[in-house]
Amino acid sequence: MAAPPLLILDSISFTLGGAPLLNGASLSVSPGERLALVGRNGSGKSTLLRIAAGELQAETGTRFLQPGATLRYLPQEPDLSGHATVLDYVMAGLGPADEPYRARNLLEGLGLTGDETPGNLSGGETRRAALARALAPAPDILLLDEPTNHLDLPAIEWLEGELASMRGALVLISHDRRFLSGLSKATLWLDRGITRRADRGFGEFEAWREQVLEEEEREAHKLDRQIVREEHWMRYGVTARRKRNVRRVAELAALREARRSRVRPTGTATMQAAEATGSGTLVISAEDVTKAWGERTVVRDFSTRIIKGDRVGIVGANGAGKTTLLNILTGALAPDSGTIKLGTNLEMATLEQMRGSLDPDRSLADTLTDGRGDQVWVGGQPRHVMGYMQDFLFQPQQARTPVGKLSGGERGRLLLARALAMPSNLLVLDEPTNDLDLETLDLLQDLLADYGGTVLLVSHDRDFLDRVCTSVIMSEGDGRWQEYAGGYSDMLNQRGEGVTARTVAAPVKAKAAAEPRPDSAPSKKMSFKDQHALASLPGQMEKLGQEIAVLEKWLADPGLFSRDPKGFQQRSDALAQRQQALAEAEEEWLRLEMLKEELGG
pLDDT surpassing 90 at residue 288: yes
Query: Binding residue per annotation — 316?
Result: yes
Query: Binding residue per annotation — 294?
Result: no
Distance separating alpha carbons of residues 45 and 42, to the nearest angstrom? 8
536: left (phi over 0), alpha (psi -120 to 50) or beta: alpha
Query: Binding residue per annotation — 54?
Result: no
The 10 Å Cβ neighbour count of residue 378 is 20
Query: Binding residue per annotation — 323?
Result: yes
Mean pLDDT confidence for 472-495: 90
Backbone angles phi, psi at 284, to 5 degrees: -140, 135
Identify which has the larger pLDDT, 531 or 93: 93
| Domain 7-207 of CATH type 3.40.50.300 | yes
195: left (phi over 0), alpha (psi -120 to 50) or beta: beta
pLDDT surpassing 90 at residue 185: yes
Q: What is the pLDDT of residue 528?
A: 63
Instruction: Quickly state the pLDDT bin for 196 (edges 50, 70, 90).
Output: very high
Query: Binding residue per annotation — 132?
Result: no
DSSP character string of 261-329? HPPPPPPPP-----B-S---SEEEEEEEEEEEETTEEEEEEEEEEEETT-EEEEE--TTSSHHHHHHHH
Query: Binding residue per annotation — 321?
Result: yes
Q: Report pLDDT digits (tens) over 251-271.
A: 656 655 665 555 555 555 565
Query: DSSP label at 6?
Result: S
Q: What is the pLDDT of residue 519?
A: 38
Q: Out of 34-38, 277-281, 352-356, which region has the weakest mean confidence (pLDDT)?
A: 352-356
Q: Which overall architecture, per CATH, does domain 528-598 show?
A: Orthogonal Bundle (1.10)
Nearest-Å Rg of the Cα atoms of the chain is 29
Query: Binding residue per annotation — 459?
Result: no
Query: Binding residue per annotation — 164?
Result: no
Distance separating alpha carbons of residues 401 and 361, to the nearest angstrom? 9
Query: DSSP label at 553?
Result: H
Q: Give me the count of residues in the chain.
A: 601
Most confident listed range (218-232, 269-283, 320-334, 489-503): 320-334
Please check whether residue 385 is in contact with residue 376, taking contact to mean a CB–CB distance below 8 angstroms: yes
DSSP character string of 82-100? T-SSHHHHHHTT--TTS-H
Instruction: Quickly state the pLDDT bin for 226 (edges 50, 70, 90).
Output: low
Torsion angle of alpha carbons 488, 490, 493, 499, nearest 10°? Answer: -20
Instruction: Quickly state the pLDDT bin for 60 (edges 50, 70, 90).
Output: very high
Query: Binding residue per annotation — 40?
Result: yes
Percentage of the chain beyond pLDDT 70 is 81
Query: Binding residue per annotation — 41?
Result: yes
SS (H, E, C) 424-486: ECEEEEECCCCCCCHHHHHHHHHHHHHCCCEEEEECCCHHHHHHHCCEEEEEEECCEEEEEEC
Identify which has the larger pLDDT, 236 or 376: 376
Query: Binding residue per annotation — 261?
Result: no
Please check whether residue 301 is in contact with residue 289, taking contact to mean a CB–CB distance below 8 angstroms: yes
Query: Binding residue per annotation — 356?
Result: no
Class level of CATH domain 282-495: alpha beta
Domain definitions of the chain by residue range: 7-207, 208-261, 282-495, 528-598
Mean pLDDT confidence for 308-325: 89
Query: Binding residue per annotation — 185?
Result: no
Distance separating alpha carbons of residues 503 and 170, to the nearest angstrom? 31
Q: Report pLDDT digits (tens) over 582-600.
A: 877 777 776 777 676 666 5
Identical fold between 7-207 and 282-495: yes
Q: What is the pLDDT of residue 505?
A: 40
Query: Binding residue per annotation — 58?
Result: no
pLDDT surpassing 60 at residue 135: yes
Query: Binding residue per annotation — 313?
Result: no
Query: Binding residue per annotation — 44?
Result: yes
